[in-house]
Amino acid sequence: MSIAPIDSIDSLSSDLFYDILRRLDGPALASLACTCAAFCSISKEESLWENVCSSVWPSTNREDVKSLIFSIGGFRKFYADCFPLIVNKEVGEYQWNNHLEYPDDWTEAEYYGDTNELESITPSDFVSIVDIRFKGKPICSKVQWGIPNADGFDGWFYNCPFRIDLLAYADRDDNNDGVVTLSVSDGLPPITSMERERKDGKLWHELRDGLLLSWILVNKKIKQSANLASWSPLDGQRHWPTDKDFVIRFGSVLPAKDILSSQVVQCILVMKFRVVHIEEEGFQTSLKLTELSMQLKDMEGAHVNGRNSLHILKEALSCRRSKNYSEVLESCHMYSKVQNELKEEKMRSESRLDTLCIITGIAAFMTFWYYVL
């Protein structure tokens, strides 16, 4: 078969350029755009980036999500904002001595935040766009507009622990009425008994290694977005609180400077699966997604209230990001390391205080009997 010679790239039609570029993923498309003016011009086509976003985040195929993305700057900007993950290198700068140890020591302004500034941030400004993959296959896409029940009940949301539970408020438009399941046909190993699973942990390892989570938060008012997930799990627990539950955690470290005295908080994204069938019951091994939630915790593990959470999430949309996944993991592991050190230091301080109290009590007891006798 003979191939017609090409004198130059300029001799190729724009349609052919487009056909080539639409087959590329996001990083390859961005790299190719830097090679020449022709590729740079064509790579700015929104339809190309819409195709890229659709392959990475199936939830962006929804018409309401497409309208949202166009309203905040288009698919090209959306991809540039959400593909890199949040990385926070200020974790090591946390100083225990600068932190007020007990909430009772906090002033009302420190605990509740600036009320005037909060008026510009409302729960309805935020949209959660969530996609879950297992072994590369999309298994769940959910979109949550606003924060459910956050605008009523006399403002209880602002003073109570912040939490978004997507399964508790599943959209009626979701497939299977919001129920998400995994089975052997999705790549799970067949399990004949939970006793055997406790020993070899085959199901647990396949689940932990195969799951990917993307939780994109969009603020419609300021037209910014970011991916709060870590893609791969950070940690997890087997068989908690029952033998048939698997808890897997994703997340990121978010800046809280000038919002909380801890300066940084952890965004924890929890995914919980429950075993509903095993092979010995006459069915294929299958799991059901029972929890998909977000919450924020400070260095001491205390839940952040809704008022401060809105400030933190707004600031997170403009914080530093990185395409280097190992750098993101390092940031999360550094947070856990510092948090464990603080817990150990607090335990040592409490131990010294307990010892001092005991010695003081003994001394007082001996002094009392000395004067009595």
Lookup: tokens for 96? 């225990």
Residues 31 and 149 in one domain: no
Q: Is residue 350 part of a domain?
A: no
For residue 7, which phi and psi values (nearest 5 degrees)?
Answer: -70, -40
Q: Is residue 68 part of a domain?
A: yes
Residue with tokens 């497409």: 66
Q: Is residue 107 part of a domain?
A: no
Where are the extended beta strands (E) located within 135-263? 137-145, 164-165, 181-183, 211-219, 224-227, 235-238, 245-255
**What's the pLDDT at 92?**
57
For residue 217, which phi and psi values (nearest 5 degrees)?
Answer: -110, 130
Residues 53 and 179 in one domain: no
The DSSP code sequence of 203-220 is HHHHHHHHEEEEEEEEET
Residue with tokens 């766009």: 129
Residues 170 and 222 in one domain: yes
Residues 207 and 154 in one domain: yes
Can you tell me whether residue 43 is helix, strand or coil? coil
Domain termination site, one of 35, 65, 83? 83
Residues 47 and 151 in one domain: no
Residues 149 and 207 in one domain: yes
The DSSP code sequence of 70-118 is HHTT-HHHHHHHHSSEE----GGG--GGGS-SSGGGS-HHHHH--HHHH
Lookup: tokens for 141? 């896409």
Q: Is residue 238 part of a domain?
A: yes
Residues 135 and 61 in one domain: no
Tell me whether the omega of the peptide bond preceding residue 241 falls within 30 degrees of 0, making it cis: yes
Residues 30 and 139 in one domain: no
**What's the pLDDT at 14?**
66
Residues 207 and 314 in one domain: yes
C-alpha to C-alpha distance for 295 and 266, rounded to whole angstroms:
8
**What's the pLDDT at 9?**
55
Residues 150 and 39 in one domain: no
C-alpha to C-alpha distance for 200 and 242, rounded to whole angstroms:
17
**Mean pLDDT by groups of 10 residues along the chain of 373 residues:** 47 68 82 78 85 93 95 94 86 50 46 50 92 94 87 74 80 55 89 85 90 95 93 85 87 87 89 87 86 91 90 91 84 80 76 83 82 73
**What's the pLDDT at 373?**
65
Under 8 Å between Cβ of 101 and 95: no
Residues 45 and 134 in one domain: no
- Report the number of distinct structural domains present in the chain: 2
Q: Is residue 272 part of a domain?
A: yes
Give, as one character, the DSSP assignment of residue 15.
H
Under 8 Å between Cβ of 273 and 287: yes
25 is in which domain, residue-wise?
10-83
Which of 135, 130, 138 is CA-nearest to residue 55? 138
Q: Is residue 188 part of a domain?
A: yes
Q: Kindly report the pTM of this predicted structure.
A: 0.82
Q: Is residue 372 part of a domain?
A: no
Burial degree of 136 (CB within 10 A; 0-12, 13-18, 19+) = exposed
Residues 278 and 141 in one domain: yes
C-alpha to C-alpha distance for 233 and 139, rounded to whole angstroms:
16
Contacts of 297 (CB under 8 A, 6+ apart): 265, 266, 268, 303, 304
Q: Is residue 177 part of a domain?
A: yes
